[in-house]
Chain A
Amino acid sequence: MSKSFVVLLGLLAFGACDQRRSEPFVGERIFTEQELRGEVLFFRHCNECHPQGESGLGPSLNDKILPDFFVKNQVRNPLALMPEFEEDIISDAELEDLVEYTKAVKRQDAKTPAAEE
């Protein structure tokens, strides 16, 4: 627990400068079916505090390279002020979709539309 806590704080402290990945900056974004499912989940559960993956009430997500297990653990057993999302809110399958979506957003570089990759 304490190790994860330190890692999280480190990520929060050193990753708090946004890297913008919305349409005006990266062009039209193309996603797989799974990523599209994850996109809907992201905007249902995450967007309020991490607007479009940028920092807001919470820290930015789209400029951090986080291992899948860390993201999933943070959703299920959050540290800091993030709310807990149990399986009746986000199922395991949905959590997979959500993680794939956040990874897909991070793959899109500024001024490089995903369709051209």
Chain B
Amino acid sequence: MLRLLTLASLALLLPSCIKGGGQTSPTRDGPDPSDIALPEGYRIELVADGLNFPVGITFDDTGIPYVVESGYSYGEVFATPRVLRLDPATGDRSVVAEGAHPPWNGITHHRGHFYVSEGSQDKPGAIVEIDLTGEMREVVSGLPSQGDHHTNGPIVGPDGFLYFGQGTATNSGIVGEDNLMMGWLPRAPAFHDIPCRDVTLTGVNYESDDFLNSNNREKVSTGPYLPFGTAATPGQVIAGQVPCTGAVMRVQLPSAASHTAGGPFPVELYAWGFRNPFGLAFAPDGSLYVSDNGYDERGERPVFGSGDLLWKVEQGRWYGWPDYSGGRPLENQRFRPPLAELPKTLLQNPPEAPPLAAAYLAVHSSSNGMDISRSEAFGHVGHAFIAQFGDMSPGVGNVVQPVGFKVVRVDPARGVVSDFAVNDSKANGPASYLNSGGLERPVAARFSPDGNTLYVVDFGVMTIGNDGPEPRQNTGRIWRIIHE
């Protein structure tokens, strides 16, 4: 009763305040670095403007930056995925490679080749190797990336392995109406999450309308790790396999001497139980850190109040999806949505007790691409710099004020989060919300090879309309931050 009374009162008192950063009309000014606040001693400048859905950046051996344009955005807007060579002085760009299977979600450079994560909406995902002439081949194939979240990363570790993340197909394990809204369920009606190891189900199912058959007036039941409309039974074992969803995986790249031989190469599981492990970075001590997007308040099994996470990743561990958030079980009142039931536990015996996160980031902040400082000249060595794309409210759940839309610095040893590059305004939000020339939706942050400059990839304008995301093409920007 008190809960309902509270909700009713809040609804009356706060209607004008409950607004995400995408709930606006895009009226931002031209780029203006002075609209962005930074800690004392740091300066930000614009490198390039007018990019089409840029999502990642890397550098060749001479320090020249290369940007990857996704070719796809939520909102079901498709374009051509591209790798662009960027002149760091003028922002001029030239095309290195074009793909046919968007989205291209991330890029890294290693020994004269680019490696691009190809999420792909029309075929299984892949890691594509591209040489400087634009020649391409798949070094990893068959990734389960046609769902809500795609293939992320990649990066090359100090051990020479190529590491990448694979997001989950669903928000919290159940294929349902939210996946219809995302656009992929009609394209891939049999698609669902895949565990990396065997899991035993509790037999919990969620009922919904039959979204794939409008002639069917009966409700259908859907269980976790199963196709839409397929119910689970208590004690049912779902066989694990690799590649899987919600995981960090890796592949041993061929040696320089045998580089052109073979492929695709066998995939190894590194760690699992993530939701959308978007950003991957190695710290100077060799530790792997991963940014992970928390659950949304959407679909048949919505979860309330689950923040994004920064994990320090240990090989072989399970990190809690679909029953935990940051080491805390979801079947707890704190994760109960205001107008829905408590999320029920899906796994009969969790693979292990998941660890606590290295840092707990804002709910719906979309903490995405990141890097870790290794330069005394830049400062904060060992700290993570994470690009926060910003909320996609109300589709993922409501917020009181816009969340994210900035770059934060995280001290992983203490879990403390600090604004690093943020729009200079009385309240938080993207430039289009604030009518400024500042940051819109930062999606990746990557240090230059010498570690002295932090490049920030700004995806561009994406508002949220009544029917979901409304991305604006050719509004992406690249910024760079220097310690003076």
Please list the residues of chain A having a beta carbon within 8 angstroms of any beta carbon in chain B: 5, 9, 12-13, 16-20, 22-25, 27-28, 39-40, 43-45, 47-49, 51-52, 54-60, 79-81, 83-84
How far does the Cβ of A20 sit from chain B's closest Cβ, in whole Å? 7
A57 touches B305 (CB 8 A): yes
Find B6's partner among A13, A28, A49, A81 (CB 8 Å cutoff). A81
B325-358 CB contacts (< 8 Å) to partner A: 332-334, 338
Verify A43–B359 contact, CB threshold 8 A. yes
Contact assessment for B13 and A43 in the assembled complex, using a CB-CB cutoff below 8 Å: no
CA distance A52 to B361 in the complex (A): 10
Residues of A within 8 A of B13 (CB): 9, 12-13
Interchain Cβ contacts within 8 Å, total number: 126
Q: Chain B, interface size: which category?
A: 35 or more
Chain B residue, CB-CB nearest to A24: B37
* Residues in A whose Cβ lies below 8 Å from that of B418: 22-23, 52
On chain A, the residues within 8 Å of B6 by CB distance are 5, 79-81
Residue-wise, chain B 291-318 has the 8 Å CB interface mask toward A (1 for contact) of: 0001000000000111100000000000
Which residues of A are found within 8 Å of B333, using beta-carbon distances?
A: 83-84
* Subset of 21 A-B contacts with CB under 8 Å: A16-B14, A16-B400, A17-B427, A18-B401, A23-B39, A23-B420, A24-B37, A24-B420, A39-B414, A43-B415, A43-B416, A47-B417, A48-B307, A48-B361, A48-B363, A51-B403, A51-B417, A52-B417, A54-B401, A83-B333, A84-B333
A41 and B230 CA atoms in complex are apart in Å by 43
Main secondary structure of the interface of B (DSSP, over half): loop
Residues of A within 8 A of B2 (CB): 5, 79
Contacts A40-B414, A83-B305, A83-B333 given; indicate if A20 touches B360 (C-beta within 8 A).
no
CA distance A106 to B78 in the complex (A): 46
B residues with CB within 8 A of A? 2-3, 6-7, 9-10, 13-14, 17, 37-40, 294, 304-307, 332-334, 338, 359-365, 397, 399-401, 403, 414-422, 424, 426-428
Contact B365 A51 (CB under 8 A): yes
Chain B residue with Cβ nearest A10: B13
Kindly list chain A residues whose C-beta atoms are within 8 Å of the C-beta of B307.
Answer: 47-49
Given contacts A12-B10, A80-B10, whether A56 and B363 have CB atoms under 8 Å apart is: yes
Q: From residue A113, how far is it (CB to closest CB) to chain B in Å?
A: 8
A20 to B424: give the CA distance in the assembly, Å: 10
CB neighbours (8 Å) of A81 from chain B are: 3, 6-7, 304-305, 338
Taking a contact as CB atoms under 8 Å apart, the answer to whether B401 and A16 are in contact is yes
Question: A57 — which chain B residues lie within 8 A by C-beta?
Answer: 305, 362-364, 397, 399-400, 403
Contacts of B306 in A (CB 8 A): 48
Q: Given A25-B37, A48-B360, A81-B3, 8 more contacts at CB 8 Å?
A: A16-B17, A23-B419, A43-B414, A56-B365, A56-B399, A57-B362, A57-B363, A59-B400
Within 8 Å CB of B304, what residues of A? 81
CB distance from B390 to the nearest CB of A (A): 11
Q: In the complex, how many angstroms separate the beta carbon of B430 from the nearest chain A beta carbon?
A: 15
Which of A40, A44, A48, A59 has the most C-beta atoms of chain B within 10 angstroms of its own C-beta?
A48
Which of B40, B360, B400, B419: most chain A CB closer than 10 A? Answer: B400
Asked if A51 and B334 make an inter-chain contact with CB atoms under 8 angstroms apart, the answer reads no
**CA A52 to CA B9, docked complex, whole Å:** 26
Question: Across the interface, do B40 and A27 meet the contact criterion of CB distance under 8 Å?
Answer: yes
Chain B residues lying within 8 Å of A13, measured Cβ to Cβ, are 13-14
